Amino acid sequence: MNILITALIVSGINALLALLLVIAERFLANYGTCKITINEKEKLDVEGGRSLLASLKEEKIFLPSACGGRGTCAYCKCQISDGAGPVLPTEEALLTAEEIQDQTRLACQVKVKSNLDISIPEELFNIKEFKAKVDRLQDLTYDIKLLRLQLLQPSQINFISGQYVQLESQPYEKVKESVSRAYSIASSNSKKTHIDLMIRLVPEGICTTWVHNYLKEGDELIFTGPMGDFRIHDGVGEIIMVAGGSGMAPMVSLLHELTRNQSKRKITYFFGAVARRDLFYLDEMKDFKRSLSNFTFIPALSKPLPEDNWKGVGGLITVPLENYMKEIKADDAQIYICGSPGLINACGQVLKKHDVTEDRIYFDPFA
Amino acid sequence: MEHLSPWVIFFAAIFTGNILLTYFLGMCSFLSVSKQIKTAVGLGLAVTFVLTVTSALNYFIYYQILKPFHIDYIRYIVFIGVIAATVQLLEMFIERYSEPLYINLGIFLPLITVNCAILGVSLFMIIRKYNFIQSVLFGAGSGLGWFLAILAMAGIRERMKEDKVPSALQGPGITLIIAGIMAMAFIGFSGIVQIQ
Amino acid sequence: MKQTPKEKKLFENFLPGKLTKEGFLGDDTRHIHDIIQADAKVLVQYQMKKETIARELKKLIHIGKQGLESEVETDDYAILVQWDRGMIACPFGEPGLHPKLIAKVKDKGSGVTIRYSQLCVHLVQHHGFFGGKGSAFRVDPEIVCPMLQRNLSSTQEK
- Each as own residue / partner, the long-range contacts of residues A324-331 (CB below 8 Å, 24 or more positions apart, any chain) are A324/A240, A324/A268, A324/A270, A325/A350, A325/A351, A325/A353, A325/A354, A325/A356, A326/A354, A328/A238, A330/A354, A330/A355, A330/A356, A331/A237
- A interface with B, Cβ–Cβ < 8 A, is 2, 5-6, 9-10, 13-14, 17-18, 20-21, 24-25, 28-29, 85-90, 111, 113
In b/e form, how buried is each residue of B58-73, taking b as 16+ CB within 10 angstroms?
bbebbeebbeeeebee
Residues A152, A157, A160: CA angle, nearest 5 degrees: 155
From CA B142, how far away is CA C77, in angstroms rounded? 66
C96 touches chain A (CB under 8 A): yes
Q: What's the rounded mean pLDDT across residues B59-66?
A: 92
Residue C106 confidence (pLDDT): 93
Per-residue pLDDT at B121: 94
* CA geometry: angle A317, A323, A324, nearest 5 deg: 90
> What are the pLDDT digits (tens) for B6-48?
899 999 999 988 999 989 898 888 888 888 898 899 999 999 9
Domain of residue B43, residue span: 6-191
Interface membership of B107 toward C (CB under 8 Å): yes
Percent of chain A with pLDDT over 90: 59
Q: Does B106 touch chain C (CB under 8 A)?
A: yes
CB contact under 8 A, C95 and A317: no
Angstroms from A105 CA to nearest CA on chain B: 14
pLDDT recorded at residue B33: 85
Q: How far is B130 from chain A (nearest CA, A)?
A: 23
Whether B152 is covered by a domain: the verdict is yes
Domain assignment present for B137: yes
Chain C residues whose beta carbon lies within 8 Å of the beta carbon of residue A317: 68
Tell me which residues of chain A have a C-beta less than 8 Å from any C-beta of chain C. 66-67, 70-74, 90, 93-94, 171, 173-177, 181-182, 200, 202-206, 209, 244-246, 272, 274, 302-303, 316-318, 340-343, 346, 366-367
pLDDT average, residue stretch A285-292: 94
Split at pLDDT 50, 70, 90, the class of A253 is very high
What does the pLDDT look like over A118-129, one tens digit per residue?
999 888 888 999
Backbone angles phi, psi at C14, to 5 degrees: -85, -10
What whole-number distance in Å separates Cα of residue B113 and Cα of residue A9? Answer: 22
Determine the Cα–Cα distance for residues C73 and C8; give it in Å rounded to an integer. Answer: 43
pLDDT digits (tens, 9 = 90+) for A75-104: 888 999 988 888 888 888 888 889 989 999
In a domain, B105, yes or no: yes
Task: Please determine, looking at this structure, whether the domain spanning A127-227 carries the CATH number 3.30.110.40.
Answer: no
- Strand, coil or helix: what is A288? helix
pLDDT in tens, A28-41: 877 888 999 999 88
Average pLDDT over residues A339-353: 89
- Is the pLDDT reported for residue A255 higher than 90? yes
Mean pLDDT, residues A311-319: 91
Q: Where are the domains of chain A?
A: 33-124, 127-227, 239-365
- What mean pLDDT do residues C15-21 have? 84
- Taking residues C61-78, report their average pLDDT: 91
Looking at chain C, which subunits does it touch, using at least 3 CB pairs closer than 8 Å as the criterion? Answer: A, B
Q: If you ran DSSP here, which 8-state letter would residue B191 be given?
A: G
pLDDT at res. C155: 55
Overall CATH class of domain A239-365: alpha beta
Domains identified in chain B, total number: 1
Q: Name the pTM for this structure.
A: 0.76
The model's pLDDT over B107-158, given as tens digits with 9 standing for 90+, comes to: 888 889 989 999 999 999 999 999 999 999 999 999 999 999 999 999 999 9
- Treating both helix axes as pointing N-terminal to C-terminal, what angle do A282-291 and A248-260 enclose, rounded to 10 degrees? 20
Does B196 fall in a domain? no
Higher pLDDT, C55 or A89: C55
* pLDDT of res. A176: 85
Q: Return the sign of the alpha-carbon dihedral for residues B148, B149, B154, B159.
A: positive
Closest CA to A343 of A201, A244, A251: A244
The class level of CATH for A33-124 reads alpha beta
Q: Cβ separation of B82 and A21 shorter than 8 Å? A: no
Report DSSP state, residue A202.
P
